[in-house]
Amino acid sequence: MGDGMIHWIWMTGGVILCALEAMAPGMFLLWLGVAAIATGLVMSFAALTFAWSLLVFCAFAVVSVIIGRRFYGSRDQESDKPFLNRRADSMVGQTFVLEQAIVNGEGRIRVRDSIWRVTGPDMPAGARVKVTDVAEPTLLKVVPA
């Protein structure tokens, strides 16, 4: 195949990458496809060696991914359920009844169908406590409510 047709290979590859993105969405192949199409367009105006065309593709890929992340956002978007995998954090500020007395700084509370370990000042069972912080993933800090 002559050097005059190489730009079509880049553009065809870019269209294929964009089509693959449509079948398996993830917003990554799209930007590589855009970079390949842009490389093909550059190659249609400038006769570049294969090594230079790869360098141009890499530059376009980096730029297109950066632009894509800026316009379409990253995966660090606000969730409508911010405490989905952090149940303990969702309890901070809430008030509960001690299931088991806090003795020597440790006790237990019932939250719906679960029992949670708590740490705080000694208090009898049945006392109302307010969760102030999360000490560990399964240990809550409490104070008298």
Query: Tell me: the pLDDT tens digits for 65-81?
Result: 888 888 776 555 566 66
Residue 133 neighbours by CB distance under 10 Å: 14
pLDDT on residue 144: 93
Answering whether pTM is above 0.85, one says no
Find, among 3, 38, 46, the residue nearest to 18 by Cα: 38
Which residue in this structure is represented by tokens 């993830």? 26
pLDDT on residue 90: 81
CATH topology of domain 87-144: OB fold (Dihydrolipoamide Acetyltransferase, E2P) (2.40.50)
- The dihedral sign for the CA sequence 49, 54, 57, 58: negative
pLDDT on residue 126: 93
Which SS3 state, helix, strand or coil, does residue 49 take?
A: coil
Alpha-helical regions (H) of 2-47: 6-23, 29-45
Q: What share of the chain is helix, strand, coil (3-state, %, to 5)?
A: 45, 25, 30
- Positions of the chain with pLDDT under 50: none
pLDDT on residue 125: 93
pLDDT on residue 3: 61
Residue intervals of the chain classified under CATH 2.40.50.140 are 87-144
Cβ-contact 139, 118 below 8 angstroms: yes
pLDDT on residue 81: 64
